[in-house]
Amino acid sequence: MSRSPSRTTASLALVAALAATVVAALPAAAEVPWPWRSKFAAGEQVRFAGTLSDSRGAPLVDVEVAVEAWRSGFDLRGLAWTRDQRTRATTRTNARGEFTIDWTWEPELRKFALVAYLPYRGSSGPTEYELARADVSGKLRDGSPVTATLVADAAAVAFLERLRAFEASLATADERAIYQDLGLPERVDSTSVGGGDESAWWYYAQGRVVRFRDGRRTEVQTFPPVSAEAAERR
């Protein structure tokens, strides 16, 4: 006569299964530069350096680049990897798209990335658009400097150009106030009418269009929110 497993046996089996899941999810040892395998002591200066360009190799100038560092952990309840204690040090690219960041080594931080990004005003407040990212965790074993080549794809470069052109066009207090309040519009229409310039800033997701005459706000119209893609198909 067979018996069903005891609660203790079942619990042990469950723990073993969870442990196997965690072990399977762990990155290979060669991919993680654990602090005791690194070449650096706490407080030592580590240099991160590299270049940022588009896909054709043209340098992207005056763009913010950051070293991001964090410690990963495994959440047994959610059975997923989590990040905590993320820290960041930033600089900007020079006329050749080059950047250099000096970092003070903290042994408890185990993952590192170089990230090029654009801070801007979004519909819900200050936000960032990521242009390019490179995981450099494995390169830490080779010592300092830690180098990487960041390449922004065509969509990222197009966003960079659109954002810079839009921010450079803000010429009046009304335009700057609307940008601070509503963020970057999904679309801008401009035309010359009767000796003056008229423009419309479309915020599809917010269901608003703001109209200007010679840089002065004339009206704000509302409509049912819609995605930019759906609006363009109409």
How does strand 146-152 pair with strand 45-54? parallel
Looking at residue 29, what is its pLDDT? 40
pLDDT class of 227 with cuts at 50, 70, 90? confident
**83/218: higher pLDDT:** 218
Model confidence at 86: pLDDT above 70: no
Mean pLDDT of the region 150-165: 97
Rounded average pLDDT over 186-193: 94
Tens of pLDDT along 8-54?
555 545 545 554 554 444 444 434 444 445 678 889 999 999 999 99
Residue type, 159: F
For 29-67, give one letter per residue: b (16+ CB within 10 A) or e.
eeebbeeeebebeeeeebebbbbbbbeeeeebeebbbbb
Q: What's the predicted TM-score (pTM) here?
A: 0.75
What pLDDT does residue 39 have?
A: 78
Q: pLDDT by residue (tens digit) across 99-112? A: 999 999 988 888 89
Domains and CATH numbers, the chain: 29-69+88-159 (2.60.40.1120), 171-233 (3.30.1450)
194 pLDDT band, cuts 50/70/90, is: confident
Secondary structure percentages of the chain, helix, strand, coil, to 5: 25, 45, 30
Residue 124 has what pLDDT?
Answer: 84
Q: According to the model, what pLDDT value does residue 191 have?
A: 94
How far is CA 120 from its chain centroid? Answer: 12
Residue 95 DSSP code: T
| Residues 71/110, Cβ–Cβ less than 8 Å | yes
Give the tens place of pLDDT for each residue, 47-81: 999 999 999 999 999 999 999 998 766 556 666 65
Q: Alpha-carbon distance 172 to 26, whole Å?
A: 54
